[in-house]
Chain A
Amino acid sequence: MWVLKAIGLFLAAAAWRLTSSRRFGALLIRALSAKNENLKNIAGILIVRAGKNAEPLLQDALHRRESLPLTLSLLADLGDRMVEKEIQPFSTDQDPKVAEAARQALRVLASNR
């Protein structure tokens, strides 16, 4: 049942915050590809709330093209302009959804200045 998995995500986020262990963060990253929209959203929100700690995990996911285009949006949601150069190449991606998400992510980052 997705509700139990959701509770697991909340626990993983708490453990991640307490221990800074990437293992717990990786659980949330994995949940980004969940079919259940609730799980996907909860994981996404908890990742953004983790702030800077989430950045290397999201960058790894981006390099592996995992959970695109969501990963692009999440990187922009962290608000760190340093990730612009990593998002930039995706704005001309062959997948129009990925390209659009990258363009939107860059726009959001630019509006943050």
Chain B
Amino acid sequence: MPFQIVREPIAGPLSFARSDDAAILTQAAVLLAIGAQLRGDNKRFRVASGGPAASAAIPDEELKLLGLPPLGESLGRIDSAHNRQLLFSRYKLPVPSPAVLTETVIEDLNVFADVAKTHFSEGSSKSAIDLMEICLRHRNELVRVSAAAAYSEHSSELDRLIRILDAGTHSTENLVRSIAATALTFAAPDNARLKEMQGIARQSGATGAGHTTMLIHGTWAQNSPWWQPGGDFHTYILQSVRPDLYSKQDRFGWSGGYSDAARALAASDLVTWVQNHKEQGLDLITHSHGGNIVFLATQNGLDMGELILLSCPVHVPKYQPDMAHIHKKVVSIRVHFDLVILADRGGQRFNFPGITENVLPIWFDHFATHNPDVWRQHNVPAMI
């Protein structure tokens, strides 16, 4: 059964003493946030975007809402077996042997609450590692999977974490599957289960016929002709690249608004459009923030084939794809030092597993990537 919507997280370590939906989701958020803190995601994101404090992987105000203490970047892997021995001894828990093969559930919520309390008061890498370690034994699979996802870049026992994530991909709960699959793409991109998931989706027909390509415009381009039937780029793609390009007048369009709300609304509308038209598995060619709308749509369950991103501003993790729902490749095509992306304060390149970057020998022009002459001159069809 899906989790209930949480209007406000439970601040501080209290959530770890509870097992209701709000508490479980908060625990998952805390663990994933700790993983991001230890990876130094916020620092990296600010450097990449050249942006101010507001441009962070996890905004400071949201960390405050969770009551999480600040945590510095921690590189390298710790000796998980040794750390576990110390931790389990402290709570007089049986130390499993061999530890990596069994994951006995810890039933006593007081143990989780106490380890969490220590972390929220101490705020050290050690206390963070202890919390991730103990949560691998949580009764709830979302908490276990979130702990494994967060811990995967810090533990010496990666195989063990991959097993937990792998198990998570079989969950009946969509959120658990998505977190597990996304974490697997980072921790083990060649994992057989990921390939199997893509194969299952293709074979079962869950992704529809998959013989349609569609164009999605970016910000304030809802009235621009280039992407509409009869427009120059639409005509070029239809005649020279994708004869399956959707050309009916009821093609998907969105407000073109420059706000998170406009994009969220568009993503929801896209999922509905695809369902109503039975076009699951379609390929999408997107320009600018049109790509970020598709990312959001995959998080809302949109199953699609290939994704071609033209001049897409990078706002990871705010906008990132759920790769478990993209069944073919993701290709990004852009120019050097895109000035519109600069104004947008987005990143200029993806550094995301599964997205292939192609930078054309063109500078500054955000709109060059949907110019048919540019496609011909630089043989862009060979890149997709």
A28→B228 CA distance, assembly (Å) = 28
Interface string of B322-363 (1 = CB under 8 A from A): 000000000000000001101110000000000000000000
Do the beta carbons of A76 and B220 come within 8 Å of each other? Answer: no
Which residues of chain A have C-beta atoms less than 8 A from B342's C-beta? 10
For the complex, would chain A's binding face be called helix, strand, loop or mixed by DSSP majority?
helix
* Interface size of B as a range: 20 to 34
Residues on the B chain within 8 Å of A109, using CB: 261
Q: Give the contact stretch, choosing among B83-91, B250-258, B298-306.
A: B250-258
| Complex-state Cα separation, A10 to B364, whole angstroms | 14
CB < 8 Å A-B pair total: 82
Query: Chain B binding site: helix, strand, loop or mixed by DSSP?
Result: loop
Question: In the complex, are the beta carbons of A38 and B220 less than 8 A apart?
Answer: no
**CB of A100 to closest CB in B, whole Å:** 8
| Cβ-defined contact, A40 with B220, below 8 A | yes
**Chain A contacts of B14 at CB under 8 A?**
none
In the assembled complex, B186 has its CB within 8 A of some CB on chain A: no
Cross-chain contact of A6 among B256, B257, B261, B364 (Cβ < 8 A): B364
**Which of A6, A38, A109 has the most C-beta atoms of chain B within 10 angstroms of its own C-beta?**
A38
Residue B60 CB within 8 A of the other chain: no
User: CA of A56 to CA of B92 in the docked complex: distance in angstroms?
Assistant: 66
- Report how far A40 CA is from B339 CA in the complex, Å: 12
B340 touches A42 (CB 8 A): yes
The 10 A-B pairs at the shortest CB distance, nearest first, are namely A104-B255, A45-B343, A112-B261, A77-B258, A42-B343, A108-B262, A77-B259, A41-B340, A37-B367, A108-B257
Q: Is B171 an interface residue (CB 8 A)?
A: no
Contact of A73 with B340 in the complex, beta carbons under 8 Å: no
A41 to B340: give the CA distance in the assembly, Å.
7
Q: Say yes or no for A97: interface residue by CB 8 A criterion.
A: yes
Interface flag for A61 (CB, 8 Å): no
Using a CB-CB cutoff of 8 Å, which residues 41-98 of chain A contact chain B? 41-42, 44-46, 48-49, 69-70, 73-74, 76-77, 79, 97
Interface size on A, residues (CB 8 A): 31
Q: Given A41-B343, A73-B220, are A107 and B265 also a contact pair (CB < 8 Å)?
A: yes
11 contacts between A and B (CB under 8 A): A10-B343, A37-B221, A44-B219, A45-B340, A48-B258, A76-B259, A79-B259, A97-B223, A104-B254, A108-B257, A112-B261
> A-contacting residues of B (Cβ < 8 Å)?
219-224, 254-259, 261-262, 264-265, 339-340, 342-344, 364-367
B262 touches A77 (CB 8 A): yes
State the CA gap A100–B254 with chains docked (Å): 11
CA distance A16 to B376 in the complex (A): 41
Across the interface, A108 reaches (CB within 8 A) one of B259, B339, B367, namely B259
In the assembled complex, A105 has its CB within 8 A of some CB on chain B = yes
A105 touches B339 (CB 8 A): no
With A6-B339, A108-B261 already in contact, 20 other A-B pairs whose C-beta atoms are closer than 8 Å: A37-B224, A37-B367, A38-B339, A38-B364, A44-B219, A44-B258, A45-B344, A73-B220, A73-B258, A77-B258, A77-B259, A77-B262, A100-B222, A101-B222, A101-B255, A104-B255, A104-B257, A108-B257, A108-B265, A112-B261
